[in-house]
Amino acid sequence: MNKETDSRKLVANNKKAYFDYFIEDKYEAGIVLAGTEVKSLRMGKCSIKEAYIKIDKGELYIYNMHVSPYEQGNIFNKDPLRVRKLLLHRGEINKLGGKITEKGYAIVPLSVYFSKGRAKMEIGLAKGKKLYDKRDSIAKKDVAREAAKDFKIRNLY
């Protein structure tokens, strides 16, 4: 195993993004969090299924990312669905901003993880799939599943 995968601890994954979009570029962004949110993330209590990302006044923000309140956090807990700022280089934000003005492009969260003790989010520049593209993806998965099943049966005997 290489060092990059060793230092990553996955917290949340957005499989639906790969089904609904063609991912063209991937970026790693830091997340601005409160102390109790970090503790909750370390326990794996995060959901990015309904989350989306917008650029506002040259800054990147994530909306609808649900981080469950920390159990021992009492008064220090924040709103689970509050808007959180993402940290990315200015040039990358400008590049993303230029692309999403084109029709069909969006910025989607792909995964949340810890890298070297810091909470990070992998975001992707995505182009929406049409219905026939989604059907094609399902057909490819079915073919691959059947091939794997046939291979397993063939090697069993």
Q: Quick one: DSSP state of residue 56?
A: E
Taking the C-alpha atoms of residue 18 and residue 14, their distance in angstroms, rounded to an integer, is 8
**Whole-number mean pLDDT of the chain?**
83
Model pLDDT for residues 41-98, shown as the tens digit of each residue: 888 888 888 888 888 888 899 898 888 887 776 766 777 778 888 988 999 888 888 8
- Of residues 109, 125, 118, 94, the one with CA closest to residue 24: 125
Q: What angle do CA 83, 30, 75 make, to 5 degrees?
A: 50
**What's the average model confidence in pLDDT over 108-137?**
85
Model pLDDT for residues 76-87, shown as the tens digit of each residue: 677 777 888 898
- Of residues 64, 36, 117, 53, the one with CA closest to residue 87: 53
Question: Which residue do the tokens 């060793």 mark?
Answer: 6
